[in-house]
Amino acid sequence: MKIVMLGAPGAGKGTQAKMIAEKYTIPHISTGDIFRANIKEGTPLGLEAKSYMDQGKLVPDELTVKILLDRVSKDDCKNGYVLDGFPRTIPQANVLKEALAKQNDKIDFAINVDVPDENIVRRMSGRRACVTCGATYHIEHVPPKTEGICDKCGSALILRDDDKPDTVLNRLKVYHDQTQPLIDFYNNEGILKEVDGTIDVKDVFESITKILG
């Protein structure tokens, strides 16, 4: 079972990807994690990726897919995997599709966790992070015992720049421009499944497990 997770930043696709990985005993693969692992281990692919990153350039799609294919060729992926954060664009989706086709392989499901923009802005702008220990809260869903103070270490809680409404709206614009077309791409492939991401996390997961069987 090979799955691609789709959804805007803050839609909760990463949380669902982890839950899917745990239930079906398949790896949750984030491209960021693979890059870091390859760079840390000093692999040829990792060194090549680092040469781009050190110059502040994006890692080319072909190299990203090479690193990804190297990861999914490992034994723990023989029953499938969940991709989180890749592909992000149509060119990446095409490169991945072609590379998998050469191995007589393909993606089985593309699951879109659908959440309206206004919900995401409210969700993310309600996040608070501890300046000292990094613990995270949400003013509506997981509030601290004392407003603005971390339960764990007593330090101040802040709204991170990434979670400020203007930043979130910018990130959503990039998402809609680049990543939203993937929904049409996977719909045309006949493997797109949509779930309502505005409901409780457990209910979203239940919707996904009904799709996956």
What is the chain's mean pLDDT, rounded? 93
Catalytic residue among 88, 97, 122, 164: 88
What are the sequence ranges of the domains in the chain? 2-115+167-212
Can you read off the two tokens belonging to residue 172? 């959503």
Is 173 assigned a catalytic role?
Answer: no
pLDDT above 90 (res 31): no
Instruction: Tell me if residue 122 is catalytic.
Output: no
Report the side by side order of strands in the sheet with 136-138: 136-138, 127-130, 157-158
Contact (CB, 8 A) for 83 and 4: yes
28 vs 54, more confident = 28
Give the residue among 126, 125, 129, 121 at the shortest CA–CA distance from 140. Answer: 126
Q: Which of 2, 123, 127, 128 is catalytic?
A: 127
What is the predicted pLDDT for the residue at 62?
A: 87
Question: What per-residue confidence (pLDDT) applies to 24?
Answer: 96
Please give the helix or strand (H or E) that residue 5 lies within, else none.
Answer: strand 2-6
Q: What is the pTM of this model?
A: 0.83
pLDDT at 5 over 90: yes
Confidence grade of residue 32 (pLDDT, cut at 50, 70, 90): confident
Beta-strand relationship, 2-6 and 109-114: parallel
CA separation for the pair 157, 144 (Å, rounded): 9
User: Please, which pLDDT band fits residue 83 given cuts at 50, 70 and 90?
Assistant: very high
Top-tier CATH class for 2-115+167-212? alpha beta
> What is the token pair recorded at 26?
């398949």
Averaged pLDDT for residues 74-103: 92
Is residue 59 pLDDT above 90, yes or no?
no
128 included as an active-site residue: no
What are 121-176's pLDDT values in tens digits? 999 999 999 999 999 999 998 999 999 999 999 999 999 998 999 999 998 998 89
Q: Tell me, yes or no, if 127 is annotated catalytic.
A: yes
> pLDDT grade, residue 4 (50/70/90)?
very high
Q: How confident is the model at residue 88 (pLDDT cuts 50, 70, 90)?
A: confident
